[in-house]
Amino acid sequence: MAQAVGSGTIAVRGLVKRYGRTVAVDGLSFDVRPGLVTGFLGPNGSGKSTTLRVIVGLDAPTTGQVTVSGTPYRTHRRPLHEVGALLEARSIHPGRSAYNHLLFLALSNGIPRRRVGEVLERVGLTDVARKRAGTFSLGMGQRLGIAAALLGDPGILLFDEPVNGLDPEGILWVRNLMRSLAAEGRTVFVSSHLMSEMSLTADHLVVIGKGKLIADTSVSDFVKGKGQARARVRSPGAQQLAGLLVAKGATVEPGPDGAMVVSGLPAEDIGDLAAAQGLALHELTPLQASLEEVFMEMTGHTVEYKAAPK
């Protein structure tokens, strides 16, 4: 990997992308750094794929700038050594074999032929390398796309929805692959609309909605900072306690099996309040908001198409 200034960093600055009258990306700015798995999250249609396409120079920004390792993608000579990308839509000719697909990519960037065999081995497609890609399952197609991304041994890797179509074993494999690529000091930028998937893989999150930045933070800060404090409370004097909590500004909802879920007040305050009133507590469990809940809460109003409330 080259050691130039900003090497391995993706820098998005004031990116706006319009298609006709549709604004797909609306003033995005963020950095993606080496050595981490950075999750790129947003509901479907929020502009993730567009942003990734702009990063690899397929689409030109309407305004703003995107650089990889300090300069725009299109100015890189033999860019596969710098950036490897698995884009969301398939980009494989169904009549061409996996080997030949990788071979033309290798030749285009001066990558030795033996490297084709190596990446096929790494993604587990060696046995079907000479088969036409059109016969591949969705998961095998994804593996071939990942092989293409790894071909130039790049310092930056982009994966657009990499676990789509993979079986559980494949999902686990992708997770481990991304973790190990980051551990090798590479920049790994992974888009997903599934928060739960990111909670298992990512160190850092860039969250967008309707083309705008919602959060750019570590996974742990994301949950702490945005999740509302909640606690599950069980008490013989539940009725009385609920009244006191509501008076303090908390929200009380009935939980499963007679417990109540209190939000808006830290667990410590709930305990103190019960003690002050001499009320017994049978359970007081602080609830960590799941990444998914935080995500829904934050992006709920930015979702382009959502089901009508019942």
Partner 1 sequence: MSIAADALGMEWVKFRTVRSTYWTLLFAVVATIGIGALVCVVHINRFNHLSPGDRLEFDAVRFSLAGVQLAQLAIGVLGVLVMTNEYTTGVIRATFAAVPQRRAVLAAKALVFALAVFVVGEIASFSAFFVGQSILAGKNLDVHIGDPGVLRAVFGGGLYLTVLGLFALGLGSLVRHTAGAIATFFGLLLVLPGIVAALPQSWQDAIEKWLPVNAGEAIFRHGHQFGTGHSLGPWTGLGVFCAYAAAALLAAGFLLGRRDA
Binding site for partner 1 (CB under 8 A): 53, 56-60, 73-80, 83, 85, 87, 89-97, 100-101, 103-105, 107-110, 148
Count the neighbouring beta carbons within 10 Å of the beta carbon of residue 218. 15
Closest CA to 83 of 122, 102, 56: 56
CA distance 230 to 228: 6
Q: Which residues contact 247 (CB under 8 A, 6 or more apart)?
A: none
Q: Please, what is the minimum distance in Å from the beta carbon of residue 49 to partner 1?
A: 11
> With respect to partner 1, which residue has the nearer C-beta, 111 or 219?
111
Helix%, strand%, coil% for the chain, nearest 5: 40, 25, 35
> With respect to partner 1, which residue has the nearer C-beta, 93 or 248?
93
CA distance 41 to 202: 11
* Amino acid identity, position 282: H
Count the neighbouring beta carbons within 10 Å of the beta carbon of residue 157. 23
> With respect to partner 1, which residue has the nearer C-beta, 59 or 118?
59
Q: Please, what is the minimum distance in Å from the beta carbon of residue 127 to partner 1?
A: 19
Q: Please, what is the minimum distance in Å from the beta carbon of residue 110 to partner 1?
A: 6
* Chain CA centroid to CA 304, Å: 18
Q: Which residues contact 142 (CB under 8 A, 6 or more apart)?
A: 86, 162, 163, 164, 165, 166, 170
Q: Please, what is the minimum distance in Å from the beta carbon of residue 73 to partner 1?
A: 6
Q: Please, what is the minimum distance in Å from the beta carbon of residue 94 to partner 1?
A: 7
Q: Please, what is the minimum distance in Å from the beta carbon of residue 224 to partner 1?
A: 37
Q: Please, what is the minimum distance in Å from the beta carbon of residue 15 to partner 1?
A: 14
> With respect to partner 1, which residue has the nearer C-beta, 95 or 278?
95
**Contacts for 74-79: CB closer than 8 Å, 24+ residues apart:** 78/109, 78/110, 78/152, 79/109, 79/152
Count the neighbouring beta carbons within 10 Å of the beta carbon of residue 168. 8
> With respect to partner 1, which residue has the nearer C-beta, 75 or 285?
75
Count the neighbouring beta carbons within 10 Å of the beta carbon of residue 229. 19
Q: How many helices and strands in the chain, by DSSP H and E?
A: 10, 13
Asked if 180 and 157 touch (Cβ cutoff 8 Å), the reply is no
Q: Please, what is the minimum distance in Å from the beta carbon of residue 57 to partner 1?
A: 5
> With respect to partner 1, which residue has the nearer C-beta, 104 or 124?
104
> With respect to partner 1, which residue has the nearer C-beta, 105 or 202?
105
> With respect to partner 1, which residue has the nearer C-beta, 18 or 224?
18
